[in-house]
Amino acid sequence: MFLILVLLFTCVPALELYLLFSVGAQIGALNTIFIIIATGIVGASLAKSQGLELLFKIQDQLNRGEMPTGQLLQGFLVMGGGLLLLTPGFVTDILGFSMVLPGTRTILAAIIKKTFFKSIQKGMKNGNIHVFTNMGQGFRTNRPQGHHTPEQRVDSNTFEAEYEKKDEDH
C-alpha cells in the first residue's frame, strides 16, 4: 500500500507537470491555463448536477424502505471525480470525468463492486476476515415487557417484526 501511495504522490504529479508543459509549449501558456480553468468549471457543475441527481435517487430509495448501496457507491465516485476535476492536470481530468459521467461511472462502480466482493470472499476463505453477529444473544429493546407489535410487510422480501428472547426455564 505504501508503494502505491508513493507512486500516486510522485509519478502522477510528475506526469501531470510534463503534460502541462508539453501542451503549453504546443498551444501556448494562456490556452493551457484556459483549458485547466474550463475543465474545473465544467467538472464542478457536472459533479454538482450528478450529485444532486444521485441524492434524489438515494432519498427515493430510502423512502421506499430500500438500502441505496449502489447509489451510495456512485455518490462516492461523483465526489472523488469532482475533486479530481478541480485538480489541475489532464490525467486527473480524464479520470475525474470518467467518475462523474453516468455511463463510465456505472462501469467503474461495477468493477469496484466485483473487485471488492472478490477480496472480501477471499479474505473470508483465508480466515483474514471474520463476520460476527449477536443473533445467539438475542436483541434488546427499550420497550416494556408484554408489548407486542405484529409483523408488518415492508416489501415483498422484508418483514418488520420484534424479537423477544424467552427464558429457557419456562
Q: What is the pLDDT of residues 3-59, one digit of tens each?
A: 888 888 899 999 999 999 999 999 999 999 999 999 999 999 999 999 999 999 999
> pLDDT (tens digit, 9 = 90+) per residue, 62-102?
999 888 888 999 999 999 999 999 888 999 999 999 999 99
pLDDT higher at 1 or 95 = 95
Instruction: From residue 1, give the alpha-carbon distance in Å to each of 5, 6, 36, 148.
Output: 6, 9, 30, 51
Q: Is residue 134 pLDDT above 60, yes or no?
A: no
Helix, strand, coil percent content, the chain, rounded in steps of 5? 70, 5, 25
Q: Is there a domain that residue 146 lies in?
A: no
Q: Is there a domain that residue 143 lies in?
A: no
Quote the pLDDT of residue 21: 94
Residue-number span of the structural domain to which 95 is assigned: 12-126
Report, as an integer, the average pLDDT of 135-164. Answer: 54
Domain count, the chain: 1
Residues constituting the chain: 170
Q: Is there a domain that residue 51 lies in?
A: yes
Model's pTM, two decimal places? 0.67
pLDDT higher at 65 or 121 = 65
